[in-house]
Amino acid sequence: MGAGRNRPGERRGESGTFGSMAIQPDTKDWTWVLDKQCPECGFDASAVSFTEIPALTRANASQWVEVLQRPNAATRPYPEVWSPLEYACHVRDVFRLFNTRLGLMLDEDGPRFANWDQDETAITDRYGEQDPVTVSTELVEAGDVISAAFEAVTLEQLDRTGTRSDGATFTVDSFARYFAHDPIHHIWDVSA
C-alpha cells in the first residue's frame, strides 16, 4: 500500500499509460510511518492508540463524502496524478482489503497476505470512471465495516500477526495504525 503527495512527474496510482504518458506505480515502502511522523500529512502513528482508529476512520470517511461532492472530483490536477475520485476509490478498496486482512489475522495464526496490486486495480476497476455518489456511499459503508471490526478486537488479540507479501510483518495493533495513515494521507493529497 502506498500513500504519497503527487507532483508533476510523480505518480501514485495506475501503472500503464494515460494518453501518451507512462504512469509509474508507487513502489515505496511506507511501513516507516509506524516509527515517525509523516512529514507530508503530519500523521504520527506512534501517537495514536489502537482504540482511536475506528473514530479516525469514520471521520475520514465523512471527509471523503465532501470531497466527492466537488464539481471537479473526477478531474485529475495533472495527467499523472490521481483525481479525488480515483483516490476515493483507492481508499474504499483499502478499507475493504484491510477488513479482509484483519479477519485473517484474527482467524488464522500468522497468515501471509496475498499481494494486492493497487495500481492494476485502479486500471481494471476504472477508478476514474466510477460514479462519485456511488463511491461515496460505498466508502462510508466500508469505513463503518472496518471500524466495527477494529472495535470488536479484544485486548488479547492485539499481538496476533500477519505478514504482507513483501515480508513486512504486523501485529493487529501496528496493522491498525499503519492502516490509518493511508486514508488520512490521501485526504491531504486531495486538499491542496
Q: Mind listing the pLDDT tens digit for each residue in 13-41?
A: 333 334 333 346 666 677 889 999 999 99
Domain assignment present for residue 40? The answer is no
- CATH number of the domain that residue 167 is part of: 1.20.120.450
Q: Identify the residue whose cell numbers are 459503508.
A: 141
Total count of domains within the chain = 1
Torsion of CA 171, 172, 176, 178, to 10 degrees: 10
Q: Please state the pTM of the whole predicted model.
A: 0.87
- Residue 154's region, left for phi above 0, alpha for psi from -120 to 50, else beta, is beta
Is residue 168 scored above 90 in pLDDT? yes
Domain assignment present for residue 26? The answer is no
Domain assignment present for residue 142? The answer is yes
Domain assignment present for residue 89? The answer is yes
Q: Identify the residue whose cell numbers are 511522523.
A: 37
Q: Mind listing the pLDDT tens digit for each residue in 110-156?
A: 999 999 999 899 999 999 999 999 999 999 999 999 999 999 999 99
Domain assignment present for residue 39? The answer is no
Domain assignment present for residue 23? The answer is no
Tell me the residue range of the domain where 148 lies: 51-191
For the chain, report the end-to-end CA distance as a whole number of angstroms.
Answer: 22
Domain assignment present for residue 55? The answer is yes
Contact in structure between 51 and 153 (CB atoms under 8 Å): no
Domain assignment present for residue 69? The answer is yes
